[in-house]
Structure 1
């Protein structure tokens, strides 16, 4: 693949950790502005070089970093503007709610501590019990409106979700489908490691799914009950929801690309120990939540022809999920044990194959060892001709031992409408971060996908404030 070089042009610095970068035209305005959502709860907008505060909900965000040595995956993680935002002023937020801190679904255990033991059936079949008291936090999805005086105001809550652990809540988790006009919510599997309760494959669980919400339907329910399963939702809310996909581990959103009158969908699935994966599909058959519930009551299988399944937790991208045990005498001989053989067999035929996978360890000279996929965006601009029509993605941090301080990675792949497995190439950047770390946290684009934006943070800890920089990726 062609070696591509780009420049990072700084737009704003010294902000808190950026989670969502997208553009919109404010009602009554004439310019497209970049909106930056931060994990701590601020949303800024930038136009003509001027930065303003669009919304500040920091008091409504859960206290971040307190229970996890500064690291956190909760907070303000989703922002989407209605396709008719210019006319109706509607926008949507997904965030973790202040005052909802619980002990976790496995009290006393740090979230990353769970590992299945193939010799111990108990660890392969854990159940999430006592959910009302054993959970980590509550996430909410809300509809807001920009009033005629320019002040945002909350209109209603669409969903209140109880989450088992602090991680895997998704990021850039709200996006509108240009194909259906519906709001798409991407939820991670609930966290810990290895999806201990297998929520992602359970049709009744909201965790580990891609869900469409018909926001045009008014349920007349303005603050729904807190739930974890579809069948706990009131009927009017069930009727607004369809499920596009399951088998999600953790996800930096969904993006869309029109290509020869076909709408290609791209989804990144963050890996466990081996591999990061990007999936792509055109045709799919979503299942209404009411049908899933009916099938569950009848103890029958819903029609899953053309329903998307990414395969987690039995599969990590193109590989059966493995437990990696290091070999101290010779790291090259690390032992990989299959974690969930039965589930890998069960989902082997139904799952979607990834478009590309890249590895946590890669000996090839022109590749890199990845840590976690943080953004996937199509690029349709002509400013960087070598990238036109390609799919650009970011990884949090390059895993080379010699890499100090830490640097994230920008890379790209090409895709045909057949969405078949492809190769990728690193994009070289010329920006000098000096002695500071540079974790690549998020990737965004403008309305017609002709410009790319990159959010970088100087620390892995959300509790280390004001270390964020947003760049435009330019020729």
Structure 2
């Protein structure tokens, strides 16, 4: 693959953690504006070099960073503009709601401390019990309207989701499908590590799925119940939902790339200990939630031919999910023990192989050791010719590098048959100085001819004003 070198053009600096980067044309305007959703709840707008606050949702966002030493995966996680936003002013938000903090699904135990023990079956078949009291927080998906008078109005709540842990809620979690016109919601497996309750594989669970929402159907339910399973939803809401995929660990959104008369879809799945993965698919057969619920009530097997299955928790990318047992003298020789043999077998024939994988340890000189995938976008522009038609992705921080920390930008080639593809690191000509630069988000404009990179100087949400947004340029 070609070696690509780019520069970063500063767009805005000294903002909070930039989690979502999108463009849209404001009603009455003639050109696209860049919108930046920050984790703490501000939605900023950049137009002609000027920065202003589009909407401040911070009072509606859960208090962040309190019990986790400043690190958090909750907050304002999704922003999507209706395809006809210019005409109707509709947009959609996904965020962790204020006042909903709970003790967690395993009260008294740090969520990151869970590891399955293949010698102890009790750790392989845990159940999430007492969900009404044992949960971490509630995420909500809402419809908002920018009215002709310039004021904002909340239209309706689409979903209220009870989440077991603070992590794996998804990020950049909302987009509109150019194929179906529906709102797409990507949800993580609910958190902790190793998906302790196997939510991503349970067809009844909302966690660990990619879901399409038909926002054009009016459910007439102003405040839906707080739920964790599809069968807990009222029938009118069930009728608006279809499920595209399951087996999601955590996901920084889904991207669509037009190719002649069809769309390639790309989804990045954040890994556990070994590998980060980008998947691609063209055709899929969604399952209406009403069918899913009926099959569950009858204890019947669903026809899942054409349904997308990413393999988690039995598979971490191209590998059966493993537990690392350390070799203190040489971490490169850490023992890797299969965590969930039965899960790996059950998912082996149905899972979708990754398009591209990159690893937390990689001895190849032209690769890198990754930490966590933070963005996947398609580039269809001409200004960076070697990237045209490619899939660009970001990792938050290169493993093993000396401080200050740096993120990584890389790309892979689209494969129309979705065959596995290698990747290449993109060299960035920019001096961040002594400041750390975690690459926390990646965005594009409406026709995918521009790329935007969100960078933060810290991974602690309490460290304010350390965020910047850049345009990636030749």
Is the counterpart of residue 450 in structure 1 residue 454 in structure 2? no
Give unmatched runs, 5+ long, in structure 1: none
CA drift of 1:262 comes to 1.5
Tell me whether 1:83 sits opposite 2:76 in the alignment. Answer: no
Moved over 3 A (4+): none
After superposition, what is the alpha-carbon deviation per residue over 1:112-145, rounded to whole angstroms, capped at 9, x for unaligned? 1100000011100000000000000000000000
Aligned residue pairs, count: 474
Residue in structure 1 matched with residue 297 of structure 2 by the alignment: 297
Partner of 2:344: 344
The match for 2:207 is 207
- Partners of 1:264 and 1:369 in 2: CA distance: 27
Aligned-residue offset at 1:150: 1.2
In 2, Cα distance between the equivalents of 1:107 and 1:75? 21
Range that drifts further, 257-266 or 165-174: 257-266
The equivalent residue for 1:461 is 460
The separation in 2 between residues aligned to 1:396 and 1:303, in whole angstroms, is 38
Q: What SS is found at the alignment partner of 2:344?
A: helix
1:332 aligns to what?
332
Number of the residue aligned with 2:241: 241
2:283 aligned partner: 283
- Matches of 2:431 and 2:108, distance apart in 1: 42
Match of 1:317 in 2: 317
CA distance in 2, matches of 1:259, 1:325: 44
Could you tell me how far 1:191 is from its partner in structure 2? 0.1
RMSD: 0.6
How big is each residue's C-alpha offset from its partner over 1:240-263, in whole Å with a ceiling of 9 and x where there is no partner?
A: 000000000000000100012120
Q: Which residue of structure 1 aligns with residue 138 of structure 2? A: 138
Which stretch shifts more, 46-55 or 186-195? Answer: 46-55
2:96 & 2:44 partners in 1: Cα distance? 19
Matched residue, 2:439: 440
Could you say which residue in structure 2 is the equivalent of 1:407? 406
Counterpart secondary structure, 1:265: strand
Please name the residue that 1:472 is paired with: 471
3-state SS in 1 of match to 2:107? coil
TM-superposition CA deviations, 1:344-402 (whole Å, max 9, x none): 000000000000010000010000000000000000000100100000000000002x4
Alpha-carbon separation, structure 1, partners of 2:98 and 2:330: 47
How far residue 330 of structure 1 moved from its aligned partner, in angstroms, is 2.6
Superposition pairs for residues 357-436 of structure 1, below 5 Å?
357-400=357-400, 402-436=401-435
Counterpart mapping for 1:237-276 below 5 A: 237-276=237-276
Partners of 2:408 and 2:332 in 1: CA distance: 24
Quote the Cα distance in structure 2 between the aligned partners of 1:300 and 1:357.
Answer: 35
- CA-CA distance at 1:331 after TM superposition: 2.2
2:232 corresponding residue in structure 1: 232
Match of 1:19 in 2: 19
Cα distance, 1:404 vs. partner? 1.4
Aligned to 1:200, the other structure's residue is in SS state coil
Any gaps of 5 or more consecutive residues in structure 2? none
SS in 2 for 1:86: helix
Preserved contact between residue 415 and residue 421 of structure 2 (Cα < 8 Å): no
2:182–2:212 Cα contact (<8 Å) kept: yes
Quote how far apart the aligned CAs of 1:328 are: 1.1
* Cα deviation 1:2-49 (Å, max 9, x = unaligned): 110000000000000001001000011111000000000000111111
Aligned to 2:222: 222
Provide the C-alpha distance between the structure 1 equivalents of 2:386 and 2:449, rounded to a whole number of angstroms: 13
- Tell me, what secondary structure is at the counterpart of 1:332? helix
**Distance (Å, rounded) in 2 between the aligned partners of 1:299 and 1:195:** 23
- 1:403: Cα distance to partner? 2.5
TM-score of the two chains, using structure 2 as the length reference: 0.99
| Separation in structure 1 between the aligned mates of residue 195 and residue 11 of structure 2, nearest angstrom | 38
Q: Quote the residue 1:71 is aligned against.
A: 71
CA distance in 2 between counterparts of 1:198 and 1:315 reads 12
- What TM-score, normalized by structure 1, do the two folds share? 0.99
Q: Distance in 2 between matches of 1:439 and 1:334?
A: 26
Residue 111 of structure 2 corresponds to 111
